[in-house]
Amino acid sequence: MIPVNGDPSVANKKRYPTVTRISPFIQEDLNSAMHRLLRMFYWNNVTILCDDADDHLALFVPMCTALHDSLRLTYNISSSRFYVNASNADDLQHYLEEAKSISRVILLIGHGSRIRPIMLGAAKAGMTNGEYVYIAVELYPSRKQLGTLQWYTDNKDGQDEAAKTAFRSLLKVSLRPTERTTEYLNFMDRLKNRATNYGYFFGPDEALNPFALSYYYAAAIWFQVMNETVSKGNNLQDGVALSRLIRGRTYDVMGHTVAINWNGDRDAQWIISQTDPSTGDFRVRIESAPLLTTHCAQLK
């Protein structure tokens, strides 16, 4: 049982048939969710702009490459990819003009702080008038690692209103946030107190990294399956039987539903958000990737 992505080769179930993955998502989950969103609106031609600045986890370039290749080779969607520097206005405008000549759908991969200058650049290029749609990936809010995708800066550069307007052309794809159940909040209080013993101090509103939380999920699921096995008098050393017992069911962990499919993978849960035209706050429009086919009208 693996609680994080790790080596991608481990996802090969023919080679590792007893592996169960508890991580919130793998790259193919994102590829599939993006494909569903694109197909629902008959968007068959996209441009990916990738900014690898502030990539502390070395995540964005592999994500760009994998998404670009998957859309082209697996899902037969025409995809072009450019690496941009959002801090360089000339570089940004050059690639926005390139994107403008290729497609009307632009995917943005990068640190959350890099999305705002890209959207301001798009507004300057006349590309936020309703003809173009932008889709940014923010796996989860994390100022320290992934950045936070937001248009406001307390108007430090005098462009907050322009950014707010530009963000109306943006869709945000994220992992579904962890539900703040009573059990979860109590767990977080204990965790925050214990983390100080190791020199880590959570911020006032800092949530637990969903990948870190998956370690707890993995332990809870494993202990439940072990108890079930022992109670039935079965062999704890039968890895094949244990693996089969884990799959094709859901688990309640701290009031959260964790679903493991028959392939031994945790089902990824996604949300699609748009900004409210009046407040500029992101509002969830679609609750998870499987619901794209039934709720796409909410995005119109």
Model pLDDT, residue 6: 60
CA distance 28 to 270: 13
Q: What is the percentage of the chain residues whose pLDDT exceeds 70? A: 94
CA distance 154 to 157: 8
DSSP-based three-state secondary structure for 140: coil
The identity of residue 107, as a single letter, is L
Q: Whose CA is closest to 106, among 129, 80, 126, 84?
A: 80
Question: Which pLDDT tens digit goes with each residue over 259-297?
Answer: 999 999 999 999 999 999 999 999 999 876 444 444 444
Model pLDDT, residue 141: 80
Model pLDDT, residue 67: 96
Model pLDDT, residue 143: 76
Model pLDDT, residue 295: 45
Listed as ranges, residues in the chain with pLDDT below 50 are 289-298, 300
Model pLDDT, residue 7: 65
The number of C-alpha atoms within 13 Å of 20 and in the hemisphere containing its C-beta is 28
How many helices (DSSP H) and strands (DSSP E) are in the chain? 9, 9
Q: Is the pTM of this model over 0.95?
A: no
